[in-house]
Amino acid sequence: MKRWVFFAVLAAMVVFISTTSYAAAPFYQGKALRVTVGFSAGGGFDLWARVVARHIGKHIPGNPTVIVENVTGAGGLIQVNQLFKATKPDGLTLGHINGGLILGQMMGQPGYDFDPQKFLYIGAANKENAVFVFGKKSGITSADKWRTSPVPVKIGGLVPGNFVDNMDRMMKDVLGFPTQIITGYKGTADVLIATDSGELAGGPPSWDGVRNTRKKAIETGDMIVVIQCTPKPLKDLSNVPRMIDFAKTDEQKKFVQIVAHYANDYSRPFAFPPGTPKERVDILRKAFQETMKDGEFLAEVEKMQMTLDPATGDEMAAVIADSGKLDAATKAKLKDILFK
């Protein structure tokens, strides 16, 4: 073979190998995946976003760096709106979003500039599982103490339409507990701080969040769980009454089921913005489910005493689609309760 032919063949082989290697390189290699959270650090959303972020990278081809960013304000609405309409759909920004806002969007609330049916859901690691907790010094040491209080009891909220505020409204306007809602906190971590100081009597954080950050106070009785907002009693709260136990009419029971129980099922999804390429959605869905079974992840969840209750992206999309099937009369009544 002539020398020039040999070098021409060699050069072609180098180009082919280089091109093939470049094409085969995983999209996420050398990149950073950003996970946004709509609440302040230390709350339930933040805790779960960070524990998932610490483990999911090793299950994504290319092993990207995974970082968590808190985009606070309006009870998570700023983050959700930003994810929907102002985030580049390139597969590099994943939102851990407040599913409690979905009910408000379905009722046509102004400022809810997103369509929950168009998000691309990756999955969920757990549910909100809200509980009403009160500081001992507030004097509200049981549900009966709250129900029979001679003065309105101050509880914290974030913004109307948020899951936290929805639980507050259910107790006040549906079940008739004497309540003064102080809204505007950036997250349940801030509600708990205000409860510690006596600024508030209490509020409804997630059980995982309060158990993780106020473990000692719960154990000593300085903070008491008086009501749980779940359809079934949580594992560690078998003696604590449920919200629905105080519903006396069929309508009250229906509202508790829609606002507390059904909404709990889609309360904490991870999602990509609309338009994210399908192959990147599929990569993250697979990585997310692998993370949910990862031994190190499971060990950390157990150590933190958090409640793992995973769901797939398809399951999230299905339950959110079903949640929109409310009749006009029910929507109108709930809108008046939750947003007046």
- Is 149:142 a contact under the CB 8 Å cutoff? no
Claim: this prediction has a pTM higher than 0.85? no
Q: What is the pLDDT of residues 266-323, one digit of tens each?
A: 999 999 999 999 999 999 999 999 999 999 999 999 999 899 999 999 999 999 998 8
Q: What is the pLDDT of residues 265-274, one digit of tens each?
A: 999 999 999 9
- Does the pLDDT value for residue 20 go beyond 50? no
Torsion of the alpha carbons at 193, 198, 203 and 205, rounded to the nearest 10: 20
Q: Domain locations in the chain? A: 32-128+266-339, 131-263
Number of H helices, E strands in the chain: 15, 11
Give the sign of the dihedral formed by CA 66, CA 68, CA 69, CA 71: positive
Identify the DSSP state of 206: B
How many C-beta neighbours within 10 Å does residue 11 have? 10
174 in helix, strand or coil?
helix
Q: Which stretch, 72-81, 159-168, 174-183, has highest mean pLDDT? A: 174-183
Query: Would the CATH topology of 32-128+266-339 be identical to that of 131-263?
Result: yes
Give me the DSSP letters along 32-92. EEEEEESS-TTSHHHHHHHHHHHHHGGGSTT--EEEEEE--SGGGHHHHHHHHHSS--SSS
Q: In CATH, what is the architecture of 32-128+266-339?
A: 3-Layer(aba) Sandwich (3.40)
Q: In CATH, what is the architecture of 131-263?
A: 3-Layer(aba) Sandwich (3.40)
Buried b (16+ CB within 10 A) or exposed e, 111-140: ebebebeebbbbbbbbbbbbbbbbbeebeb
Cα–Cα dist 282/18, whole Å: 27
